[in-house]
Amino acid sequence: MLGILQFIQQVLSTPAIFVGLIALLGLLLQRQDVQTCVKGTIKTILGFIVLNAGAGVVQDSIIPFGDLFQAAFHVEGVVPNNEAVTSLALNSYAVQTASIFALGMCANILLARFSRLKYIFLTGHHALYMSCLISILMTISGLTGFKLILAGALLLGLVMTIFPAIMQPTIEAVTGDDSLALGHFGSSCYWLSAQIGKLFGKNEDTVTTEDINFPTTLSFLRENTISIALAMFLCYIIVAGVAVFASPAEAAAIIGADNWVIYSVIQSITFSAGIYIVLSGVRMLINEIVPAFKGISEKLVPNAKPALDCPIVFPYAPNAVLLGFFSSFIGGIVALAILAFMGRAGIAVAIILPGAVLHFFCGATAGVCGNARGGLKGCIAGAFVHGVVATFLIAGMYPVLSSMGFANTAFSDTDFTLVGIIFGNLTKVMSGNVLFGLIIVLFLLPIIFNLIGGKRKTE
């Protein structure tokens, strides 16, 4: 029995397989033939693997940039990274995390079925990270055993439903339709970026990131892979150059035996190649998962929408992806300077370094959302605000994790930090049993609201 449970847990925690099974379920509910089911399932898994492979290439080429930045400018502090803190926490909370993860998926489907929030969260790795965070928070509250797992699962199901719902109007503005949702736990700041974009307004005359006009002699920059590679090269060559002359030993440890100029060229082009792979995977995934989801919408959860990872928005505004990253990274540097000033003034704060992965994936998404609402200005301003706010939220949540022994790392994306700050502080003012009851009430509210609304319509 334990082996079966472990197999199920591994299937659910393997995002490509999980999304493929969702696609297969949708196709079976549509009573498609065997060939269509096999083709749709495999292509969905393939699209997800291609997307993740591209994300891995991007991450491998952007992490050294962050390391070189630290070496160049001699800054020390906490580097936020979801994977790092999750891997540490799983040493102590593996059972709780796995149980919350599996039951939380079920709770998400229940909410989608019986409330008006028709979003099924399919970004498995983010659900796993959130499960880990919630298991830590529930432990801090004093809950144990079945109560801890049930409360954690209901909370996970709730946030997996609420955050895509908050983002949906913005995603409609980005994609132009209502068939997709965003399933990524940076939604609170993506929403904020869109609101910042609205301040600049958008009409027929608004210049968007995709309307940037290059001179004829620079027309080659209209090809995104070229412009991304050149922009990243400028960043790499400056940061690597400063690091080589300011901290030669540290720079050599990062760059290795390669010449730093050649290293910058290869890393920048590799970054662009990763973006190309991501976009290819996104297109393949969307082409398969949306039609397959029709069966789930018609049979299990009427009007259900698949909530997918943040790169799904990248093809809609590729220029905003790059501008969003730069703007968010600059915002992170500004926030770092403010935190350092606060520390020197005697205010106890964690110094949060600008994590390149956070500011690329989340900053880029914030840029796309800001662009959808306010064009080029909305993209730059929205992503910059994302960088600042995300950094301060990480600093605000850091004491919760450090109190549990997790030093020098933290969750990065803003929904993690918001959940951590809110429920971490609730554990200080209420007992575990009261928090357990509060979570049950919060979970049931959308269902009750739907039932009351349905009765009013029939009267």
* Cβ 162 vs Cβ 121: under 8 Å: no
What does 330-349 look like in DSSP terms, one character per residue? HHHHHHHHHHHHHHHTT---
* Cβ 251 vs Cβ 264: under 8 Å: no
Residues in the chain: 459
CB contact set of 41 (below 8 Å; sequence gap of 6+): 20, 21, 23, 24, 27
Q: Token pair of 190, please?
A: 């993506």
d(CA 177, CA 421): 34
pLDDT per position as a tens digit, 328-356: 989 998 998 898 888 888 777 778 888 77
Query: What pLDDT sits at residue 421?
Result: 92
Instruction: Tell me the whole-structure pTM to 2 decimals.
Output: 0.81
d(CA 353, CA 423): 24
Query: What pLDDT sits at residue 458?
Result: 47
d(CA 61, CA 54): 11
pLDDT per position as a tens digit, 19-44: 788 788 888 888 888 898 898 889 88
* Cβ 207 vs Cβ 384: under 8 Å: no
Query: What pLDDT sits at residue 103?
Result: 85
- pLDDT under 50: residue ranges of the chain: 458
Closest CA to 224 of 291, 295, 320, 146: 320
Query: What pLDDT sits at residue 281?
Result: 81
Query: What pLDDT sits at residue 8?
Result: 67
Query: What pLDDT sits at residue 171?
Result: 95
